[in-house]
Structure 1
Amino acid sequence: MHPAMVTTPLLSLEGVGKSFPNGTVALRGARLNVLPGSVHGLVGANGAGKSTMIKVIAGAHAPTTGTVRWKGEEVVWRTPGAARDAGVATIMQHVPLAPTLTVLENVFLGSRGPWRLPRARRAEFARLLERVNYDIDPDAEVMDLAIGERQMVAILQALATGAELVVMDEPTASLAEGERRVVFDVVRRLSAQGTAFLYVSHFLDEVLSLTDRVTVLRDGTVVEEGETASYDEDRLVQAIVGRDLLAVERRTAPPVDAAAPVLLTVRDLRSPAGVRDVSFEVRAGEVVGFAGLLGSGRSEILHAVYGADARARGEVLVDGEAVRRTPRAAVAAGMALVPEDRNAQGLIGTFPIWKNISLPDLPSLASGRALPRERAEAERAERVIADLGIVCPGPEAMVTELSGGNAQKVVFGKWLHGGTRVFMLDEPTAGVDVGAKADILELVRRFAAQGGAVLVASSEFEEILAVATRVFVVREGRIVAERPAHETSEEELLMLANGFGEGGAQGAA
């Protein structure tokens, strides 16, 4: 039966509020109705309350006020296990699979009953693959799988529990275009079979093309909900952030004066990690984009320039001075790297905001460059929080309490007051919403306007074109083409990244 013909929601939230002991109010009278067999979009800015709503649905958080109903009956799920047993499966952005176990073992991890018998497991696994029209080796270890394949294992795992509702939190944030299409096809296929989905994504084009209905959260409150067909991207953005940000995101940077000094020089950079004979220059005030598909080597180039790849060879110069091939030397020379995986490489989760922000520049914040001055560190954190508009209770808040966009701003903020001249950004807006994305892109523009040099590696070509002055196209670890940003397009960059069209010379400033 089509979702529009169903009157009783599979899941409903009525007047749900959630407050935390530190005074944070994450949800205020929120509502949600997910129909059987539907794909329901949930969107909102980072910090809007999406993660909290997901955790309420998954049984990880008990609501402070309001009611949760499952198939029309009021329920109180006090643990994720209780929600899972009822028929709710949640797939978080960072897929929590056991990397040393096989695909088959992960799919039936925690299952009870006949799944303990290898033959029964394999027979059921085959039926699950038929349901999703997908093929994967059941004996492959998860650690050897690509990110897209891991996402499919998580979906199979959800189906193995008998889930009637699958909650997907940013399911395509780290996927290449081909992998995204596979996920879309599976969601549509399962929805047609009667499985409902709550699809949480900051990719608005996905929400508009994939979902039946959409709910918009802002500041913990539902501000809009309705049939997805009644929305376009402009209306959805305005509902999310309360203002038009698309023009800000899409503003192309003007070319940089050819007489501007060269800040960064890279010569003959190469590495077994997949960097091959890379040379280029970046001038003061310039933003250079590295456009490439997943696995192209764009991230590896940034890590090699920064000295994070010990096997890399070649020359890196800042202001004409050679930089040793270590991150410490890079920082001393005025270079900063904002990595793609901010949680594992950009932040220390056991530290509060103020400690994370002061880490790269502790000597200048210490008495005699030795004794910590916590007041000075806290003052810097307060300044960064104000400058970047970081939404948090204060500098003492743990970075693990922040939304994705605000956590990314902390990673930026720790480099802003320590003499950084060259910023290298690897997928700087991965996992953040349109509001935070616009803020981060504006930070990039501001840093360049103040005379800095910026390198941005991204698979989001629209994002590169929004801030870059020049674009290098990367394929198989090489720069295969160079284009002025104002003279190219997403379509041309995609063709070049796929190996179509003519390459350009490297490295001309």
Structure 2
Amino acid sequence: MANEIPLLQLKGVTKTFPNGLTALRGVNLEVSRGTVHGLLGANGAGKSTLIKILSGSLPATGGKIVWKGEAVEYSSPKAANDMGIATIHQHIPLVPTLSVLENVFLGEEGRWRRNTAIRQRFDDLCQRVGYWLDPDSLVNELSIGQRQMVAILQALGTGADLIVMDEPTASLAANEREVVYRIVRHLSSVENKAIVFVSHFLDEVVALTDRVTILRDGQAVLDAETRDLDESRIAEAIVGRQIVALERATHQPVDESAMVLLEIRELASPDKLEPISLKVRAGEVVGIAGLLGSGRSELLHAIFGADPDATGDVRVDGRLIGKSTAASVRAGLGLVPEDRMAQGLVPGFEIWRNTTLPALDGVSSRASWLPDRTLERERGAEAIRRLSIKADSPDILVTELSGGNAQKVTIAKWLFSDVKVFLLDEPTAGIDIGAKTDILLLVRALAAEGKAVIMVSSEFEEILAVSSRILVMRDGRCIAERAGHETSEHELVLLAGGKTANPASAHNASVQSRRS
């Protein structure tokens, strides 16, 4: 192994865009067979550009790509696949109106869709990874976690020697992450595949990878074996400074005299959500803990009027609101959805257009009902300043932003409206530790301003950092409620997973968590 030629080598790879932006500055990288190579960096560090170059979506400006010992050039994802490189992108590029089977073998030519042999190949792939899906299910009917598995099967179906996984666990629940971990270990250790694993979860990077390369400002600032690193050292290299963990908030009892900004009564949805009632007061952050499929997102969608089958009442400021998203926005509700590109942003719009969409009346001139573009751009620039969005101007398309900065735009568009209640569905999914801290601090700031916030997160540590009160959901039901300062990550994991936490051990875990 020591003398084996690396499967992939990048030598001094650079990328400068026509607008003068330099995304990569002489990056060196070596990936060997049978290894998991972590690729890390803050949003905007150059990871996405490097991945696009590896996948054939972008050409490098300079440097050299060496594949199996020979310098190569390729200019399309198909050419990369044919060569033996498959990429699983963060925003999964599947065809929602096609079946699982059709998506897995999307690149195959010929009339094979009713072929028994192709179904056998699909069964073999499922057997290899130990995860089974209905091949005839439409992709648009699948959960995000299931779609991620389709993308993994699709990559394996190409027979690739190198698989690039861009944030494969960002939107997955804990049990689905374990499936991905098992697949990654199997592919590297048993099938001798090389894996480039991109993640913002430092614990999984330490547990899964053999070597880590960290990018910052387009340069590789650290390349080392994982066994020589710890999470603190990795975090420091990512952001260029020592990171102090966001401390758990010191929660005071909710002021019972504060105004009830949101009240839901017997809100339910057939086969999705059992009746739930809840009051949220001004200045309160309510965290929703639960595993994927527990009903967390369904609850937020029902509150926001996005579920046409929902029944029950939703009141804002004591007023019953209509069952539509338009009525919800008028009443003062703002939803930041889990899938920011598909549901939270208009990809073909610039920052300023996305920022002003919910409140065009605020950027319209007095003489006309039409929006004033100067005012819209000013608001976009204000959003950049207020949320520290890394963008040179508000004219940049949101598709050109890193994940964390795109998420900030999704949140920013509600900050200039008269939003009383913020519904945040996985607001920190797939973003780096710095942007994650910015957003959690923003959640605290919104509560301090007298807003009400309901936040869904798969990261129970984040819920504990900001929440006054925490609801635990499972199978579409609210099965427990805890004060934020009286519970622990340990207890929340047990409750969400269907187990009953021992009161004494839960209390001890909570005390220990507060001490640490």
Code of the aligned partner of 2:40 = V
What amino acid does structure 2 have at the position aligned with 1:234?
A: S
Q: How far apart in 2 are the matches of 1:499 and 1:130?
A: 28
Q: How far off is 1:98 after superposition?
A: 3.6
* Distance (Å, rounded) in 2 between the aligned partners of 1:479 and 1:145: 23
Work out which of the residue numbers 154, 158, 169 in structure 2 matches 1:157: 154
Matched, 1:132 2:132: no
- CA-CA distance at 1:168 after TM superposition: 0.7
Q: CA deviation at 1:78?
A: 1.7
| Secondary structure of 1:248's aligned partner | coil
Pairs within 5 Å for 1:105-504: 105-111=102-108, 118=115, 120-138=117-135, 140-192=137-189, 193-248=191-246, 250-251=248-249, 253-272=251-270, 274-368=272-366, 370-501=369-500
Instruction: Verify the 8 A CA contact 1:131 1:190 in the aligned structure 2.
Output: no
Find out whether 1:95 has 2:92 as its counterpart.
yes
Q: Residue 172 of structure 2 aligns to a residue in which SS?
A: coil
Deviation sequence 1:367-403 (CA, Å, 0-9, x none): 2361221111111111111010001120111111111
Q: How does 1:30-41 map to 2 (within 5 A)?
A: 30-41=27-38
- In 2: Cα distance, 1:315 partner to 1:396 partner: 40
Give the partner amino acid of 2:29.
L
Q: AA paired with 1:164?
A: D
The letter for the 1-side match of 2:159 is: G
2:61 to 51, 59, 64: 64
What is the deviation of 1:261?
2.5
Offset at residue 99 of structure 1 (A):
4.1
Q: Displacement of 1:503 after TM fit?
A: 12
Distance 2:200 2:475 in 1: 29
2 CA distance for matches of 1:112 and 1:328?
45
State the distance in 1 between where 2:94 and 2:325 align.
Answer: 31
Shift of 1:113: 9.4
Q: For residue 202 of structure 1, what is the amino acid of its counterpart?
A: H
- Mapped partners of 1:272, 1:503: distance in 2: 33
Aligned residues: 501
SS of corresponding position for 2:308: coil
Instruction: Select between 457-466 and 123-132 the one with higher mean Cα deviation.
Output: 123-132
Percent identity of paired positions between Structure 1 and Structure 2: 57
Distance in 1, matches of 2:3 and 2:127, equals 27
Contact 1:6/1:35 (CA < 8 Å) preserved in 2?
A: no
Match of 2:51 in 1: 54
User: Offset at 1:288?
Assistant: 0.6
The answer to whether the Cα contact below 8 Å between 1:264 and 1:422 also exists between their aligned partners in 2 is yes
Instruction: Quickly say closer, same or farther: Cα 1:167–1:380, change in 2 above 3 A.
Output: same
Kept after mapping to 1: 8 A contact 2:491/2:501? no
Aligned residues of 1:353 and 1:410 also touching (Cα < 8 A): yes
Q: Which amino acid aligns with 2:472?
A: V
Q: Distance in 1 between matches of 2:38 and 2:59?
A: 22
Task: Say whether 1:45 aligns with 2:42.
Answer: yes
1:38, 1:191 within 8 Å by CA — same for their partners in 2?
A: yes
Match of 1:507 in 2: none
Question: What's the offset of the Cα at 1:350?
Answer: 1.4
Distance 1:304 1:136 in 2: 28
Q: Find the aligned partners of 2:265 and 2:124 in 1 and give their Cα distance.
A: 54
Q: Deviations over 1:207-238 (max 9, x none)?
A: 11111001111111111110111222222111
C-alpha separation between the residues in 2 aligned to 1:13 and 1:43? 16
Aligned-residue offset at 1:72: 2.0
Give how far 1:130 is off: 4.6
Task: Report Cα offsets for 1:57-102 as digits up to 9, x if no partner.
Answer: 1111111121111122211112222221111111112333344544
| 1:133-165 per-position Cα deviation (integer Å, ceiling 9, x unaligned) | 444555555455554444333333323322110
Q: Conserved in 1, the CA contact under 8 Å of 2:125 and 2:153? A: yes
CA 1:63–1:263: 2 relative to 1, 3 Å: same
Asked if 1 retains the 8 angstrom alpha-carbon contact of 2:494 and 2:501, the reply is no
In structure 1, distance between residues paired with 2:502 and 2:453: 23
Structure 2 SS opposite 1:414: helix
CA drift of 1:251 comes to: 4.5
Letter in 2 for 1:10: L
Aligned residue for 2:510? none
CA distance in 2 between partners of 1:80 and 1:370 (Å)? 46
- Distance in 2 (CA, whole Å) between partners of 1:111 and 1:95 is 18
Shift of residue 7, structure 1, vs aligned partner: 4.4
Shift of 1:177: 1.8
CA distance in 2: counterparts of 1:216 and 1:71, whole angstroms: 23
Three-state SS of the structure 2 residue aligned to 1:90 is: strand
Say if 1:300 and 1:129 are closer, same or farther in 2 by CA, change over 3 A.
closer
Given that 2:9 and 2:31 are in contact with CA atoms closer than 8 Å, whether structure 1 keeps it comes out as yes
Q: 1:243 to 1:163 in 2, by over 3 A?
A: same
How far apart are the structure 1 equivalents of 2:97 and 2:362? 44
Provide structure 1 residue ranges, at least 5 long, that are not aligned to the other structure: 505-509
Alpha-carbon offset, residue 426 of structure 1: 0.8
Name the CA distance, whole Å, in 2 between partners of 1:195 and 1:284. 53
Q: Do the aligned partners of residues 119 and 424 (structure 1) sit closer, same or farther apart at CA in structure 2, a change above 3 Å counting?
A: closer
| Contact kept? 2:294, 2:474, Cα under 8 Å | yes
Residues of 1 paired with 2:462 and 2:56: CA distance? 36
Q: Which residue identity is paired with 1:220? A: G
Cα deviation, residue 201, structure 1: 1.1
> How big is the shift at 1:54?
0.5
User: Residue type of the partner of 2:348?
Assistant: T
Q: Distance in 1 between matches of 2:130 and 2:333?
A: 47
- Please report the RMSD computed on the Cα atoms of aligned residues, expressed in angstroms: 2.4
Q: What is the CA distance between 1:325 and its match in structure 2?
A: 2.4
Distance 1:114 1:147 in 2: 29
